[in-house]
Amino acid sequence: MRICALFFAALLLAACGAGDDAGGAAFGASGDAGAGDGFGACASDNDCPSDYTCFRNACVFQGGAPGAADAGALPPEMERTAEPFTRPAAGRDAVWVASPATDRVVAIDARSLAIEVVEVGDEPTDVATRADTDVAVVLNRGSDELAVVEALDDVTFYALPGHFNALTLSPDGRYAFCWFDLTRARAGEDASALQDLAVVDLDAGTVHAVTIGFRPRALHFTAAGDVALVVTEDGLSIVRPAGLPPSALARTVPTSADLFATADREVVVSPDGRWAVSRALDEPGVTIVALNEGVPRFVPLGAQPTDLDLLPDGRTALVMLRDAERLALVSLEDAIVDPETVRFVDFPGHVLGSAVVTPGGDLALLYSTVAPAGVVPQIALLDLETLARVHRPLRKGVAGVSVDPSGRVAFVLHTKEPGEADPALDEATFLARSHGYSLVDLETTFAKLQTTPAEPRGLTFTGAADGEGSHAAFVLFDDPAEGVAELQRIDLAGFEVRRWRLGSPPEVAGVLPAVSRAFVTQTHPEGRISFVDLAAAADRGRLETVSGYTLNGRIE
């Protein structure tokens, strides 16, 4: 028996040595290069060695602690992402890209890669396509009009009843909603339309002026698509576009139980449009309102929320309570009747104030955008079914987190301290002064830090991981002062990063799934666009550039 015990002890020590990862490796996780090594599957923490946690049937190392924060109040969470404000508009057979500098939109045939240019008005900024068509709808920011491109030689213009800088189409593509987003305003821009919404019926060819609550911040549609819900400082303005008169007042439902505390609230809305839940910086709980009833009800949570998300079921709110070192799962229907139904998940000793829920709704990613002295930055993964939780230290502070559509990889945008990032400096100073991002595998919790020459922006995912080389992301970098104009392709399976220098500053990146290519438009007086193969095959993803397409194009 003693020989058997020594044999099994040796096996255990060998497994620990083979699977050790300084940052927290998962053993037996699917997709890992060493999936056959380590401890294999687990059903509970009892199946794992000391300092390991059983998370999603794999043992994850959790030894140590993140450090202790200095006493005193922490600032609010301030989230940023590398995702762009606007994206290319994908139609049935073409992709449309706005080119504000040339007063045109660019149409790229998704199969032949043929490029056409259409003049649409002064400074087109937002472009969208009607559902299941190649009809482009363009907001001209400089001339206060909407252009509808039915064909290359068929453009209809609609004068708008104000100055707007944001465009949203209804899910069926019939209605265009134009509004003024103050967060996107430029210096000296006309900001008089702070309570105005223009609704253009693209089938009937009519324009409707709707007065809404003060300062619209976001526009959502119900799952059925027949109701628009506009988040404003006064509450939720409800707009039913069908049957609107030429001028209308929208019904606005309060999102706060205090009439004088409606501003600067974070508001989330259920997909069916039945519920809204909100938080404010100085309230120790959340406010829930049934929109058909219109009566806001406050649910105390014992601490000030620092972030608010809605789970995909549309009935449960995830509320981060950073200073109380816990989060709350709030059933919207039950909590307004019985606050005792709220479930809490504690994370003592950890500073976590923000959250992102994966597209499938099975995981919540927890982090903080503040950096208390003495605390190592981290990202935590919470299994929303079992409430099991693991923590992963990161090398730099967190500015924001995005998750790829498959729910397998998190893109973590990092903060940067002032000063030049010189590799000759000590490691801590170099990393602190560097721009960068981390990629986190959500199955294994493995993380890779990538330092970058400028702040990452324009993050674009290719979509589903359904083929070799297709599970990827593209990121843009632009710093004229440092001469940086760059495109990066990230292999989300193995985290390889491929870099291309661009001949001019990048504008926007997009994906053409039909031909397995990505593209990036660039600022250029004659027009410039570059293509790269998504698979990055034998030629390692050669960059092909078309310049001068406004002058019938030429290949470089």
Does residue 495 fall inside a structural domain?
no
More confident site: 32 or 118: 118
Residue 165 lies in a domain: no
Task: Indicate whether 147 belongs to any domain.
Answer: no
Average pLDDT over residues 405-416: 96
Question: How many H-runs (helices) and E-runs (strands) does the chain carry?
Answer: 3, 45
Q: Is the pLDDT of residue 38 over 80?
A: no
pLDDT at site 458:
93
CA distance 496 to 96: 29
Element (H, E) at 4: helix 2-19
> Which residues does residue 104 pair with via DSSP β-bridges, in sequence order?
99, 119
- Strand pairing report for 544-547 and 554-555: antiparallel
Interval 219-238: pLDDT, tens = 999 988 899 999 999 999 99
For 333, the enclosing helix (H) or strand (E) is helix 332-335
39 pLDDT tier (thresholds 50, 70, 90): low
Residue 513 confidence (pLDDT)? 77
In this predicted structure, the answer to whether residue 483 has a pLDDT above a threshold of 70 is yes
Question: Does residue 14 belong to any structural domain of this protein?
Answer: yes
In which band, very low, low, confident or very high, does the pLDDT at 50 lie, cut at 50, 70 and 90?
Answer: confident
Statement: residue 11 has pLDDT above 70? no
User: 293 Cβ partners below 8 Å, 6+ apart?
Assistant: none
Question: Which segment of 1-15, 20-34, 165-179, 327-341 scores lowest on mean pLDDT?
Answer: 1-15
In a domain, 42, yes or no: yes
Which residues constitute the domain of residue 16? 2-61
Does residue 482 sit in helix, strand or coil?
helix
Q: Which amino acid is at 46?
A: N
> What is the pTM for the complete model shown?
0.86
Tens of pLDDT along 157-166? 999 999 999 9
- Segments of 73-203 assigned E as strands: 89-90, 94-99, 104-109, 115-119, 124-129, 136-140, 145-151, 154-159, 166-169, 175-179, 196-201
Q: Given a cut of 80, is residue 511 above it in pLDDT?
A: yes
Band of the pLDDT at 415, cuts 50, 70, 90? Answer: very high
Asked if the structure places residue 43 within a domain, the reply is yes
Residue 30 has pLDDT above 80, yes or no: no
Is 420 part of a structural domain of the chain?
no
Note the pLDDT tens digit of each residue in 235-282: 999 999 999 999 999 999 999 988 888 888 999 999 999 999 999 988
* Spatial distance between the Cα atoms of 414 and 403, rounded to a whole number of angstroms: 15
pLDDT in tens, 331-352: 999 999 999 999 999 999 999 9
Mean pLDDT over the full length of the chain: 87
The mean pLDDT value for 166-190 works out to 95
**pLDDT at position 462:** 86
Domain count, the chain: 1
- What is the pLDDT at residue 497? 94
Lookup result for tokens 């007065």: 211
